Structure 1
Amino acid sequence: MAAISTIRNIGPATEALYNAAGIMTAETLHDMGADAAYARLLQTGNRPHFIGYYALHMALQGRPWNDCKGEEKKALRRAFDTLKARHFNTEKSELDAFMDQFGLIDRQ
């Protein structure tokens, strides 16, 4: 099993974010895909950043992070906005997000 930071364009800081969200290996990240992995980051309280989202897509394709341009970038922006609306709650604190991840929040 390879560390996430073995994937092109993913460094130790980003790896730590994925590890904190329960994604521990490069293989798991590849298997999940960019959208599911990024949704997990948002669900665990990380703030959304479009560059991080499209850089992840590029990384999983083995492309430079800044290779995303034109229509591809526009399509990824639409997908990012959808993920953000679905999985990021600005009302939820980081502690609430952490507790929710473990089923400790009452979802009435």
Structure 2
Amino acid sequence: MTALTSIRNIGPSFAASFKAAGITTAEELRELGADAAYTRLLENGARPHFIGYYVLHMALQGRPWNDCKGKEKKALRKQFDAIKAQSFDADRSELERILDQIGVVTPQQR
């Protein structure tokens, strides 16, 4: 199994966030893909940040983080906004997030 940091643009801090969300290897990250992995980060309590989202896309393509421009960046922004709307609730407390992770909070209680 290969370290997350073996992927271009994935440093120790980003790798730690993935590990906290249960993604521990480069192979797992590649298999999940950028959207599913980023969704998992948000569901694990990470704050949404567009730059991190597109850096992840560039990383999984082996491209420099700042290579995202123009129409591609606009398209990724739309995807990011959709993922954020579905996977992040700023009004949820840390306790509610943890209870949800262990299956105590049901969708009706959210």
Q: TM-score, normalised by structure 2?
A: 0.94
For 1:92, the equivalent position in structure 2 comes to 92
For 1:24, the equivalent position in structure 2 comes to 24
For 2:53, the equivalent position in structure 1 comes to 53
Which shows bigger deviation, 96-105 or 72-81?
A: 96-105
CA contact (8 A) 1:45 1:93 kept: no
For 1:42, the equivalent position in structure 2 comes to 42
Kindly provide the CA deviation profile for residues 7-27 of structure 1, in whole angstroms up to 9, marking residues without a partner as x.
Answer: 001001110000000111100
CA contact (8 A) 1:21 1:41 kept: yes
Structure 1 segments, 4+ long, off by >6 Å, are none
Q: Which runs of 5+ in 1 are unaligned?
A: none
How many equivalent pairs are there? 108
Q: CA RMSD in A?
A: 0.9
Q: Give the Cα–Cα distance (whole angstroms) in 1 for the partners of residues 46 and 88 of structure 2.
A: 8
Q: Which runs of 5+ in 2 are unaligned?
A: none
